[in-house]
Structure 1
Amino acid sequence: MNNLINQKNEWREVLKIVKQLDPKKLEIIKSTLPILKEHGETITKHFYQRMFKNHPELLNIFNQTHQKTGHQPKALADAVYAAAANIEDMSKIIPALERIGEKHRSLQIKPEHYPIVGENLLGAIKEILGDGATEEVLDAWADAYEIISDVFIRMENKMYKTTEAQPGGWGGFRDFIIDKKVEESEIITSFYLKPKDGQEIAQFIPGQYITIKAEIPGEINTHLRQYSLSDRPGQDYYRISVKREDKKENDIPAGIVSSFLHHELQAGDILPITAPAGDFYLNTESPLPVVLLSGGVGLTPTISMLNSILDSQLKRDVYFIHAARNSRVHAFKEHVLALTKENKQVKSFFVYDNPSDEDRTSKTIAKEGYITLEWLQKILPTKEAEFYFCGPEAFMRVINRALKQWEVPSDRIHYEFFGSFGDLDANIE
Structure 2
Amino acid sequence: MSTTTATGLDQKTRDIIKSTVPVLQEHGTAITTRFYQTMFKKHPELKNIFNQTNQRKGDQPKALANTVLAAAMHIDQLESILPVVKQIAEKHRSLNIKPEHYPIVGENLLFAIKDVLGDAATDEIIDAWAKAYGEIANVFITVEKEMYKEVQDSPGGWVDYRDFKVVKKEKESDVITSFYLKPVDEKVFPSYRPGQYITIKAEIDSQEYNHLRQYSLSQAPGEEYYRISVKREDAIGAGPAGVVSTFLHEQVEEGSILPISAPGGDFVLDQEDNRPLILISGGVGLTPMMSMLETTIKVQPNREVIYIQAARSGKFHAMKDRVTEIVEGNKQVKSYTVYDTPAEGETCDKEGYVDYEWLTSILPTNDAAFYFCGPKGFMRAQYKNLREFGVADTDIHFEIFGPADDIKS
TM-score by length of 2: 0.99
Alignment-mate amino acid for residue 14 of structure 1: T
Alignment equivalent of 2:177, drawn from 177, 189, 194? 189
- Structure 1: runs of 5 or more not aligned: 1-11
In the alignment, the residues of structure 1 paired with residue 198 and residue 2 of structure 2 have an alpha-carbon distance, to the nearest angstrom, of 27
Contact map agreement 2:199 2:215 (CA 8 A) in 1? yes
Structure 1 moving runs of 4+ over 3 Å: none
Contact map agreement 1:20 1:88 (CA 8 A) in 2? no
Alignment equivalent of 2:334, drawn from 338, 344, 347? 347
1:286-322 CA distance string (max 9 Å, x none): 1111000000000000001001111224421110001
Select between 175-184 and 402-411 the one with higher mean Cα deviation. Answer: 402-411
Alignment equivalent of 1:200, drawn from 188, 196, 205? 188
Query: What does residue 327 of structure 1 align with?
Result: 314
Offset of 1:203 from its aligned partner?
Answer: 1.1
In the alignment, the residues of structure 1 paired with residue 153 and residue 239 of structure 2 have an alpha-carbon distance, to the nearest angstrom, of 41
Offset of 1:152 from its aligned partner?
Answer: 0.4
Query: What does residue 380 of structure 1 align with?
Result: 363
Contact map agreement 2:165 2:256 (CA 8 A) in 1? yes
CA RMSD of aligned residues (A): 0.9
Query: What does residue 264 of structure 2 align with?
Result: 277
Offset of 1:13 from its aligned partner?
Answer: 4.9
Alignment-mate amino acid for residue 222 of structure 1: N
In the alignment, the residues of structure 2 paired with residue 377 and residue 242 of structure 1 have an alpha-carbon distance, to the nearest angstrom, of 30
Are residues 1:401 and 2:389 paired? no
Are residues 1:92 and 2:75 paired? no
Query: What does residue 157 of structure 1 align with?
Result: 145
In the alignment, the residues of structure 1 paired with residue 399 and residue 220 of structure 2 have an alpha-carbon distance, to the nearest angstrom, of 17
Query: What does residue 372 of structure 2 align with?
Result: 389
Alignment-mate amino acid for residue 374 of structure 2: G
Aligned sequence identity (%): 55
Are residues 1:371 and 2:354 paired? yes
Query: Which structure 2 residues correspond to residues 126-137 of structure 1 after superposition, within 5 A?
Result: 126-137=114-125
In the alignment, the residues of structure 1 paired with residue 82 and residue 332 of structure 2 have an alpha-carbon distance, to the nearest angstrom, of 34
In the alignment, the residues of structure 2 paired with residue 230 and residue 241 of structure 1 have an alpha-carbon distance, to the nearest angstrom, of 6
In the alignment, the residues of structure 2 paired with residue 235 and residue 341 of structure 1 have an alpha-carbon distance, to the nearest angstrom, of 22
In the alignment, the residues of structure 2 paired with residue 13 and residue 386 of structure 1 have an alpha-carbon distance, to the nearest angstrom, of 32
Residues paired across the two proteins, number: 409
Query: What does residue 65 of structure 1 align with?
Result: 53
Query: What does residue 51 of structure 1 align with?
Result: 39
Select between 403-412 and 289-298 the one with higher mean Cα deviation. Answer: 403-412
Are residues 1:415 and 2:398 paired? yes
1:42-94 CA distance string (max 9 Å, x none): 11111000000000000000011101111111000001111121111122122
Contact map agreement 2:86 2:143 (CA 8 A) in 1? no
Q: Secondary structure at the match of 1:92?
A: helix
- Structure 2: runs of 5 or more not aligned: none
In the alignment, the residues of structure 2 paired with residue 192 and residue 265 of structure 1 have an alpha-carbon distance, to the nearest angstrom, of 12
Offset of 1:374 from its aligned partner?
Answer: 1.5
Offset of 1:14 from its aligned partner?
Answer: 2.7
In the alignment, the residues of structure 2 paired with residue 176 and residue 273 of structure 1 have an alpha-carbon distance, to the nearest angstrom, of 7
Alignment-mate amino acid for residue 384 of structure 2: R
Contact map agreement 1:177 1:270 (CA 8 A) in 2? yes
TM-score by length of 1: 0.94
In the alignment, the residues of structure 1 paired with residue 305 and residue 318 of structure 2 have an alpha-carbon distance, to the nearest angstrom, of 19
Q: Secondary structure at the match of 1:359?
A: coil
Are residues 1:257 and 2:240 paired? no
Q: Secondary structure at the match of 1:357?
A: coil
Alignment-mate amino acid for residue 423 of structure 1: D
Q: Secondary structure at the match of 2:20?
A: helix
Contact map agreement 1:200 1:236 (CA 8 A) in 2? no
In the alignment, the residues of structure 2 paired with residue 91 and residue 39 of structure 1 have an alpha-carbon distance, to the nearest angstrom, of 25
